[in-house]
Amino acid sequence: MLTLARSELVQILRNRAVLITSLLMPLAVGAFFVYSRDTFAELYGLGYIAAVVVFTIGAFSLYSTIVTTLAARRQTLFLKRLRSTAASDREILSGLVLPVTVIAVVQVALILGVFAAVSQAPADVLVLALAVVATFAMMLALGVATAGVTGSPEKAQVTTLPIALGTIGVASWVGIAGTESLTWLKRALPGGSATELVVGTWDGGLAVTESLRLLLPTVGWVVVAVWLAARFFRWEPRR
């Protein structure tokens, strides 16, 4: 698995389009929000900025890159050839998505670390980390599922838009408007409860029981996303 992961990392670093999507764009967005933190914090709070950073990285560095990568590897029959080796399906998928996942985790840790240093530290780092892990697990599994219905890396630019823009939209909606109204709807949408949790853990004011309750909808979406990945992912090129 690690050998495959190293090979995949080399491929990512050689692909300019993937580098722009997975590295430059999220870093640019993160830098913009950190630089403009006073303006956004005055309007929406620091937690809103943290939530937008988390979901921007989750949508582009992780989700979109996974879809593009797996669609490209399927199109070139690389996935089919890997299945003829001694590696299991789980090891193959883990090796292919590991570099992208590590890059996303490093990015979110770096940007939020800088953000905390120049503004204020989150009130509950542990719960914040759990929210990020659950969110990334959801986006990763959704990426594998979307790759199953994506015929080529070029088509990934279209197939990834609904989930990528949808989750960022939900995060912005909940982060700006809060959950005082339409509470259950906002928390039930993918990313809604995670956004509320990130905002609450950064700005403070969430009890332990409330934090765990907000974590449950995201965990539920992780289960749904894993089921979708198992249901829709394909190893053979789509016709």
Which residues of the chain fall below pLDDT 70? Answer: 205, 238-239
pLDDT given at position 223: 96
User: How much is the pLDDT for 239?
Assistant: 63
Q: Return the pLDDT at 150.
A: 93
- pLDDT recorded at residue 106: 92
- Token pair listed for 190: 């993918």
The Cα angle at residue 220 between residues 175 and 234, in degrees rounded to 5: 105
The label of the residue with tokens 């914090």 reads 41
Integer Cα distance of 203 and 223 in angstroms: 28
Q: How far is CA 207 from CA 48, 65, 125, in A?
A: 19, 35, 13
pLDDT 10s digits, 35-59: 888 887 777 888 999 999 999 999 9
Instruction: Say how many C-beta atoms besides its own lie within 10 A of residue 234's C-beta.
Output: 14
Look-up: residue for tokens 């249901």? Answer: 231
Residue recorded with tokens 């006073």 = 38
Q: Specify whether the CB–CB gap between 26 and 60 falls below 8 A.
A: yes
- Confidence (pLDDT) at 195: 95
| Cα–Cα distances in angstroms (integers) from residue 15 to residues 64, 83, 151, 192, in the given order | 14, 24, 19, 33
Number of Cβ atoms within 10 Å of the Cβ of 20:
12
Residues 201/128, Cβ–Cβ less than 8 Å: yes
User: Is residue 67 a contact partner of residue 156, using CB atoms and an 8 Å limit?
Assistant: yes
pTM: 0.92
- d(C-alpha 59, C-alpha 196), whole Å: 17
d(CA 196, CA 194): 5
CA distance 1 to 90: 9
Q: In 10 A of CB 146, how many CB atoms?
A: 27
